[in-house]
A = this chain, B = another copy of it.
Amino acid sequence: MTDESLTDLRRRIEKLVENGAVEELQETLTKLHPSDIADLFPRLERLEQNFVWDLIPDEISHDVLVELDDPAQEQLLDHLTEGEIGQLVEELDSDDAADVIGALDEDKARKVLDSMDHESQREVRQLLTYDEETAGGIMALEVASVKESDTVRDAVERLRDLVENEGIEDIYNVYIIAEDGRLCGALNLRQFILAPPETSVSKLMDTDIISVTTAMDQEEVANLFRKYDLVSVPVVDDFGRLAGRITVDDIVDVLAEEAEEDLSIIAGTRDEEPTEQATLKVFWQRFPWLLVALVGGIVAASVIHHFEATLMKIIALAFFVPVITAMGGSTAMQASSIVVRGLATGEIEMRDLLPRIFREIRVGLLNGLVLGIVLGVIVALWLQQVNLGLLLGFTLLLNICFASLLGAAVPIMMKRIGIDPALAMGPFVTSAIDVIGLLIYLGFAMLVLL
């Protein structure tokens, strides 16, 4: 379903809603993939949404709910009763169920849980105990496992039962459990198809398996998927017992989320969704970052204020304030973006602090030298002031070296003390670099030119 046809579809559905053509609308919805309905949903008016929701076939409404983006899901959940949400959630895989219930406020979540059957309730409560951004928080409890003593034939029987009676879909790997309950091996489906039915699974199984613990950070889990090209990974508890599994479709979401998270930390847009329409909500999401930038700007202003006398004598110094701040900001951004990326993928380790700083300073020296000469020559020719040119060239070099140092060091140090290193690309560090750059620039100007 491309963007083009999604827009056409929206027009058609809007027309059907306007005309109250219930039957035709129902027929259209039945033919659509749940993800397509979910894509369409945020683009409808509030009342149209409610009208359309009631016409979505029961078999797919829970899938639509899961695929909705956050603001649309929140709106819809507001509109549904606890009993209705409970019914929808019971149809979901345990991980999706826990996500939906975890997004509700506490009171509503309790009521929804109370309305669910005992087994689903227990599963969701268990999953809700894990931190959202860990392996436990993204795993599903539905997992295909067989006993070490089974033959391939027994195992296929067991799988058939799981698919038919427990609704386990998307089986990529079958996990093998030892007598003592610990995870001891895995088999992929291809091996099942190709093996003679009488073979024991313990003969076939791969015992050198990659597993993760419930407490592992989701970004680390994603790195493992990426590194080893996995499609699913078993999650074990502290005793090595199989607790659940994570499939690659969840990892695709984690990767997209982490990328968005970094960007939203840099820009300060927090959890804002591109489809969010409420002005006040967007305002509150963005305001804190802008306030930090404003405070940073005022500190920079007070630095310049401090050098007022110098500025009065050589007004041309004021012209180059944007050059100093722009260059410092750009340089720090380059150094920190590489470090943040490397820390996320594990290519840079926390112990790499010193070599990294040396590398960045080498690059900074080279860039500072070339750009300093360029700026110095331009200023000397433009304003016919060789001294000012020399000053600017030299302070730009210093500024770029300092910005390289901070850009590389700050994210590593943040990670060491447990702060998200992406914050180093936000306005805190940028403001600090503006202030340091201006101190270097105006401080040298005062010393040298006056």
Contact B334 A322 (CB under 8 A): no
Q: How far is the CB of A352 from chain B (nearest CB, A)?
A: 9
Task: Choose among B189, B251, B334, B438 the residue that contacts A190 (Cβ–Cβ < 8 A).
Answer: B189
Q: Which of A78-86, A105-113, A236-244, A273-281 lies at the interface? A: A273-281
Could you tell me if A367 and B290 are in contact, using CB atoms closer than 8 angstroms?
yes
Chain A contact residues: helix, strand, loop or mixed: helix
| B interface footprint on A261-291 (CB within 8 Å = 1, 0 otherwise) | 0111011110011110101101100110111
Known: A319-B304, A366-B279. A375 touches B341 (CB 8 A): no
CA distance A171 to B191 in the complex (A): 11
Q: Which residues of B contact A340 (CB under 8 A)?
A: 263
Complex alpha-carbon distance, A97 and B293, angstroms: 48
Residues of B within 8 A of A172 (CB): 172, 231
Q: Which of A190, A262, A324, A325 has the most CB of B within 10 A?
A: A190
A216-263 residues with Cβ-Cβ distance < 8 A to B are 222, 225-231, 248-249, 251-253, 255-256, 258-260, 262-263
Say whether A427 faces chain B, with CB atoms less than 8 Å apart. yes
User: Per a CB cutoff under 8 Å, which of B163, B170, B337, B349 touches A194?
Assistant: B163
Question: Known interface pairs A69-B347, A277-B359. Does A334 touch B269 (Cβ–Cβ under 8 Å)?
Answer: yes
Whether A327 lies near B266 (C-beta < 8 A) is no
Query: Which B residues touch A169, using CB under 8 A?
Result: 190
Q: Which of the residues B228, B283, B348, B374 comes within 8 Å of A294, measured between beta carbons? A: B374
Task: List, in ascending order, chain B residues with CB within 8 A of A362's CB.
Answer: 279
Residues B227 and A35 in contact, CB atoms below 8 Å apart: yes
In the A-B complex, the 8 residue pairs with the closest CB atoms: A274-B342, A259-B259, A297-B323, A300-B322, A267-B337, A229-B249, A318-B318, A301-B319
**Given A267-B338, A274-B338, A274-B339, 8 more pairs with CB closer than 8 A:** A33-B228, A163-B190, A263-B340, A275-B342, A290-B367, A297-B320, A297-B323, A321-B321
Name 30 interchain pairs, CB-CB below 8 A, sorted by A: A3-B349, A35-B228, A67-B227, A159-B193, A169-B190, A189-B193, A222-B252, A225-B252, A226-B256, A230-B249, A252-B252, A255-B255, A255-B259, A263-B263, A266-B333, A266-B337, A274-B347, A274-B348, A279-B363, A279-B366, A290-B331, A290-B400, A291-B374, A294-B374, A294-B375, A298-B323, A300-B323, A302-B319, A326-B427, A326-B431
